[in-house]
C-alpha cells in the first residue's frame, strides 16, 4: 500500500507512515460514536443533545427560543387544521436530531495542539 499523504510505499496493513505523520486511525471513516447516540436520545428535548455535545450556547438557543417558537407555530397550525398541524413538529424534531448527530463533539475532541510553541 501507499501512504495517502506522501505516497511512501508501506507494508500492507501498515498502521502509520514511516515518512510523515499519517496514521490509519486518522483516515478511517468516522463511525458514529456513543456520544452521538446519546445526543440524539437527549434531543427528545431539543437542545439537550447540543448541550451534551458541548455546544451550550446553541443548545440553550434551541431549548429556550427555537423549540418554544416551533411548538407555538405547531399549536397555531393545529388549531387551524383540526390537530394535524402538530405533525409539523415531527420534521423539526428530526432536523434537530440530525443536526446534533452531524455537529462535532466538543467534549471528546482533542484540544488544539497547534498553539504550544
Ligand atoms: Zn506518509
Q: Where are the domains of the chain?
A: 1-29, 31-102
Which residue ranges in the chain fall short of pLDDT 70? 27-34, 107-117
How many angstroms does the Cα of residue 43 sit away from the middle of ligand 1? 40
Q: Cβ distance 43 to 96 under 8 Å?
A: yes
- How far apart are alpha carbons 58 and 62 in whole angstroms? 6
Q: 12 CA distance to ligand 1 centroid (A)? A: 14
> Distance between CA 99 and CA 92 in Å, rounded?
10
Give which of 34, 39, 48 is closest to 103, Cα–Cα: 39
Q: How far is the CA of 23 from the centre of ligand 1 (A)?
A: 8
CA of 6 to the centre of ligand 1 (A): 4
CA of 17 to the centre of ligand 1 (A): 5
Which residue has 484540544 as its cell numbers? 111
- How many CB atoms sit inside 10 A of residue 48's CB? 19
Q: What is the pLDDT of residue 108?
A: 54
Nearest Cα residue to 97 out of 41, 59, 51: 41
Q: What is the pTM of this model?
A: 0.60
Q: How far is the CA of 114 from the centre of ligand 1 (A)?
A: 20
pLDDT of residue 30: 61
pLDDT in tens, 74-107: 999 999 999 898 898 999 999 999 999 888 877 5
CA of 26 to the centre of ligand 1 (A): 12
Amino acid at each position: 500500500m501507499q501512504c495517502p499523504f506522501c505516497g511512501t510505499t508501506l507494508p500492507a496493513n501498515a498502521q502509520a507512515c514511516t515518512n510523515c505523520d499519517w496514521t490509519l486511525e486518522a483516515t478511517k471513516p468516522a463511525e458514529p460514536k456513543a456520544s452521538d447516540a446519546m445526543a440524539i436520545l437527549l434531543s427528545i428535548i431539543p437542545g439537550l443533545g447540543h448541550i451534551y455535545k458541548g455546544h451550550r450556547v446553541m443548545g440553550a438557543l434551541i431549548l429556550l427560543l427555537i423549540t418554544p417558537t416551533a411548538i407555538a407555530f405547531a399549536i397555531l397550525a393545529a388549531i387551524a387544521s383540526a390537530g394535524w398541524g402538530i405533525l409539523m413538529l415531527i420534521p423539526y424534531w428530526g432536523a434537530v436530531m440530525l443536526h446534533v448527530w452531524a455537529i462535532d463533539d466538543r467534549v471528546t475532541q482533542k484540544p488544539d495542539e497547534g498553539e504550544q510553541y
